[in-house]
Amino acid sequence: MKDLKFAVIGGGFMGKAHSIALATYPMYVWPTPYYPQRELIVEINDMLAAESGQRFGFNRAGTDWRQAVEDPEIDVIDVLVPNVLHYDVVMAAIEAGKHVICEKPLALDGDKARRMADAAEAAGIVNQVGFNWRLTPAIQLAKKLIDEGAIGEIRSVRSFWLGEFFNDPSVPLVWRFQKEQAGSGALGDIGSHAIDFSRFLAGEITEVQGVQQHFIKERPLPGGTGTGVVEVDDATAFMVRFESGATGYIESSWAAPGHKSDAGFEITGSTGSLSFTWERMSELRFYDGRDAADRQGYRTILVGPPHPYGEHFWPVPGYQISYSDTKVIQILDFIQAVSGEKAAPQTTFRDGLRSTLVEEAVMESARTGQWTKVARD
């Protein structure tokens, strides 16, 4: 067992999630070819760096991501900074020959995302984008069932990430509401996950037709005086065509009352169906049309040991795993690529690029009112 030394760039919400995952990874996954070390955390000033280092149990703390990238002790750069900074940090890390994890969205536009994916592949480093939602055991089980033919040929897909966390108009105008900083609103922030797990389950999306909505037009400035204009979508919904011929509809909204963390899908195939929502993260609903006629019905499967990644968590189905446990699976997936157990993680930079290209096509289609082809990656 070798050490794998991580530098985590950013100590906010994602810093917390990744620190928990790095600390608990060997406790869940044992034995392991690599033991992830929380070597260095980078924050924007000394005080935050020191606090994050202590709280999250890092050996060292710093304030300069360039130093981290150049640090010969570091094996992995884990990029958890605001979206607008992803490109610079990631490209420098690739340049330095590090393995790289980057939170989604990989970049603010397809051009940058393509350059990042190309550079990472050319450098031969392990690259992973943070599409942890598709790594949820229930979603992995859905994939397994689809691959085994359990629902036949996929006919339609409805996917969604619906929340209400920005429905409150008193939430101030932070960077997420500014086009230059965020790229898009609900579409990129949460819709990107729905795009990713739709692609994962049903294959590539070739064409889209979308609508975007803006409900809360102005928000108070963070300082406290006056208001500013919200530049991004509160909700984006779009029809899709898959390469396979299946059709679909993908919804994202951060202003959908009643939906708290309602990310999921309903997939209808020729002989069965699957449905899932993160709000019941341990459940996959599966309908098998080949069950006997008098005992057909959606099965509520509680994930556990017999299911993907289940052997690492708790010994009883339904014992519950959490948001951060999907990050443990992300680390496992990454380490399996580092160790050579698999060729690449499940969610590479190229997946980040493809999601971005779908988002760009959606935004164009919403402007033009036309079905719009997704650009080739």
Site residues for a second copy, 290-309, by CB under 8 A, read: 291, 293-302, 304, 306-307
Distance CA 149, CA 165 (A): 37
Amino acid at 118: D
Identify the residue whose tokens are 């392991």: 32
Please say which residue, 110 or 137, places its beta carbon nearer to a second copy. Answer: 137
Among residues 75, 262, 359, 360, the one that binds a second copy under rule CB under 8 A: 262
Binding segment for a second copy (CB under 8 A), chosen from 121-129, 224-232, 284-292, 351-359, is: 284-292
Among residues 269, 276, 327, 362, the one that binds a second copy under rule CB under 8 A: 269
Alpha helices (H) in 124-188, listed in sequence order: 137-147, 179-182, 186
Give the largest Cα separation in the chain, rounded. 67
Distance CA 291, CA 221 (A): 57
Residue 322: other Cβ atoms inside 10 A: 12
Query: Is residue 97 near a second copy by the rule CB under 8 A?
Result: no
Query: Is residue 370 near a second copy by the rule CB under 8 A?
Result: yes
Build a one-symbol-per-residue string for 225-254: x at contacts with a second copy by CB under 8 A, - elsewhere. ----------x-x-x-x-----x-x-x-x-
| Distance of closest approach, residue 311 Cβ to a second copy, in angstroms | 12
Residue 103 DSSP label: P
| Distance of closest approach, residue 167 Cβ to a second copy, in angstroms | 7
Binding segment for a second copy (CB under 8 A), chosen from 102-110, 124-132, 259-267, 350-358, is: 259-267
Among residues 10, 131, 282, 352, the one that binds a second copy under rule CB under 8 A: 282
Please say which residue, 83 or 348, places its beta carbon nearer to a second copy. Answer: 83
Please say which residue, 72 or 258, places its beta carbon nearer to a second copy. Answer: 258
Q: Cα dihedral angle (188, 191, 194, 195), rounded to 10 degrees?
A: -50
Which of the residues 350 through 369 are near a second copy (CB under 8 A)?
A: 369
Residue 42 DSSP label: E
Identify the residue whose tokens are 């859905």: 142
| Distance of closest approach, residue 220 Cβ to a second copy, in angstroms | 18
Q: Give 188's Cβ-side CA count (13 Å radius).
A: 30
Distance CA 138, CA 215 (A): 33
